[in-house]
Amino acid sequence: MENTQHNDPAAKSQDPLGAAEQKNAAKSTHRPGDLPGQKASPAEQHKKPILEIQSLTKKFGDFAAVNGVDLTVYEGEIFALLGSSGCGKSTLLRMLAGFEQPTSGAIFLDGKNIVDLPPYERTINMMFQSYALFPNMTVRQNIAFGLKQEKLPRAVIDERVDKMLKLVHMEQFVDRKPYQLSGGQRQRVALARSLAKEPRLLLLDEPMGALDKKLREQMRLELVDIINSVGVTCLMVTHDQEEAMTMADRIAIMDRGEFVQVGGPREIYENPNCRFSAEFIGSVNLFDCTLLSSNQKESLIHTDDFPNPISLEHDVDLADGMPLTIALRPEKIYISKTPDDSGSSNCCEGDVENIAYLGDISIYYVRLPSGRLVASTLPNVDRFKTGLPIWDDHVYLSWDPDSCIALTI
């Protein structure tokens, strides 16, 4: 990984809200030395693949909702399918659960093709977005429902239900009906119900979709804790990038029924492999550029927006003179009222046109002489702003050479 900045002082703020740090602190599986949001890939850890999807396609008429997707999910992993609505992520999930029949392709669970199995014969359980709790049954009956289908003895069912209730801290609500529970409590019951059957794979469909924002942030970490303590492999679908980055070990970004990029949260954020990925996760400044020269030590890139060529400290696999895109995250652009005197060519100047004050950070929109608007964020460390640029200030922007991401597609 050439571009990761092990000594970057800004590393802490790369993850929105620093949530990934919290997550990994809560996780028992992280290794010392792991960067937040970045773990060794499951294959490197010699984990066993549990779910293998091979060129899975689902067509509705001529429209391919899922188009030839390949995916391997490893034992014990939390995997997130991230995409905007209509990208096919829910269709993919529903095919795994057995509610949709794929047009072609195969789904292997523990090496066995389950494509032709009906949902009630799959050892996969799902937590529905609306929770789908049975309204006529109590919390206990809801959790016991799946176990009853296995015709287990009553004592075993009761014991398992009690265990699940304890796991999700819902012991005192056993005899309530779903309508007597709050949204968060319903989610806990839904989770307990889907975990009660000890599935090989747990599917979460927009797990936080029905909760309000505050509860959402709290439940993310708790859900991960519960899932990890059970040790179940989990595949979730979400449109919320913060949710995916906080909860998942690996993320697949989906667009128009295909995977755009698969990787850990840090990898996806710091090393997007295309413009779509870069724009989808977080915010980014994209510059249309042409490659001037490239060698092992340095690549020089020209853009009409900057007076100097952009310099990268690695080579770009492209012929000279070819177009490419440079992506620059706003938090990696330093903004200052005094010119940068390091002599680096990675700098430019402009005027502050707008400031969005978000409390924890402020986003500065700087108009370059070329007419281009560039976003740059600054953390509001000081309660009383001192010396920060204000509207119409002439400011100098600079960035480290390895903050730039060269995108060829």
Partner 1 sequence: MPITALNVSSTLARRKLGRFLTKRSRREKIRDIMRHENTWREKLVILVPYLWMLLFFLMPFLIIFKISLSVTEIAIPPYSPLVTFEEGAMQIILHLENYTFILTDEEGTYLRSYLKSIEVASFSTIFCLIIGYPIAWALSKCRPATRNIMFMLLIMPSWTSFVVRIYAWMALLKKDGLINDVLMALGIIDSPIHMLQTDFAVYVGIVYCYLPYMVLPLFTALLKVDYSLIEAAYDLGCRPVKTFFSVLVPQTKSGIIAGSMLVFIPALGEYVIPELLGGKSSILIGRILWQEFFNNRNWPLASAVAIMMLTILAIPIVIFFKVQRKQMEAASA
* Single residue of 132, 286, 361, 363 touching partner 1 by CB under 8 A: 132
Q: Which is nearer to partner 1, 63 or 99 (CB)?
A: 99
CB of 188 to partner 1, least distance (A): 16
Task: Number of residues interacting with partner 1: please give it, by CB under 8 A.
Answer: 27
Structure tokens at 207: 């797990």
CB of 128 to partner 1, least distance (A): 5
CB of 126 to partner 1, least distance (A): 5
Q: Which is nearer to partner 1, 60 or 99 (CB)?
A: 99
Whether the CB-CB separation of 183 and 210 falls below 8 Å is answered with yes
* Single residue of 80, 126, 223, 378 touching partner 1 by CB under 8 A: 126
Q: What are phi and psi of 355, to 5 degrees?
A: -130, 125
Q: Which is nearer to partner 1, 149 or 344 (CB)?
A: 149
Radius of gyration for the chain, computed over Cα atoms and rounded to the nearest angstrom: 24
* Single residue of 9, 120, 338, 342 touching partner 1 by CB under 8 A: 120
SS3 of 225-253: HHHHHHCCEEEEEECCHHHHHHHCCEEEE
Structure tokens at 2: 């050439």
What is the C-alpha to C-alpha distance for residues 140 and 159, in angstroms, rounded to an integer?
Answer: 11
Is 134 a binding residue for partner 1 by CB under 8 A? The answer is yes
Is 145 a binding residue for partner 1 by CB under 8 A? The answer is yes
Binding mask 163-182 for partner 1 (x = CB under 8 A): --------------x-xx--
User: 18: how many CB neighbours lie within 10 A of its CB?
Assistant: 14
Q: Which is nearer to partner 1, 161 or 251 (CB)?
A: 161
Type of residue at 77: E
Of 56, 75, 73, which Cα lies nearest the Cα of 64? 56
Q: What are phi and psi of 276, to 5 degrees?
A: -60, -50
Question: In 66-178, where does DSSP find H-type helix?
Answer: 89-97, 139-149, 154-167
What is the C-alpha to C-alpha distance for residues 243 and 178, in angstroms, rounded to an integer?
Answer: 25
Q: Which is nearer to partner 1, 173 or 364 (CB)?
A: 173
* Single residue of 55, 84, 113, 130 touching partner 1 by CB under 8 A: 130
Q: Which is nearer to partner 1, 179 or 384 (CB)?
A: 179
Type of residue at 236: M
Is 125 a binding residue for partner 1 by CB under 8 A? The answer is yes
Is 23 a binding residue for partner 1 by CB under 8 A? The answer is no
CB of 197 to partner 1, least distance (A): 7
Report the chain's terminal Cα–Cα distance, integer Å.
19
* Single residue of 140, 188, 197, 250 touching partner 1 by CB under 8 A: 197
Is 153 a binding residue for partner 1 by CB under 8 A? The answer is no
Please identify which residue in the block is written with the tokens 């590393």. Answer: 11
CB of 119 to partner 1, least distance (A): 4
User: 37: how many CB neighbours lie within 10 A of its CB?
Assistant: 25
What is the C-alpha to C-alpha distance for residues 404 and 276, in angstroms, rounded to an integer?
Answer: 16
Q: Which is nearer to partner 1, 60 or 134 (CB)?
A: 134
CB of 120 to partner 1, least distance (A): 5
DSSP label of 223: H
Is 119 a binding residue for partner 1 by CB under 8 A? The answer is yes
Question: Cβ contacts of residue 305 below 8 Å, gap of 6+?
Answer: 287, 348, 368, 370, 372, 374
* Single residue of 44, 150, 341, 382 touching partner 1 by CB under 8 A: 150
DSSP label of 48: P
Bridge partners (DSSP) listed for residue 398: 334, 347
Q: Which stretch binds partner 1 (CB under 8 A): 6-14, 189-197, 225-233, 388-396?
A: 189-197
Q: Which stretch binds partner 1 (CB under 8 A): 142-150, 245-253, 314-322, 381-389?
A: 142-150
Binding mask 71-110 for partner 1 (x = CB under 8 A): --------------------------xxx-----------
Bridge partners (DSSP) listed for residue 38: 35
CB of 176 to partner 1, least distance (A): 11
Positions touching partner 1 (CB under 8 A) are 97-99, 118-121, 124-126, 128, 130, 132-136, 145-146, 149-150, 177, 179-180, 193-194, 197
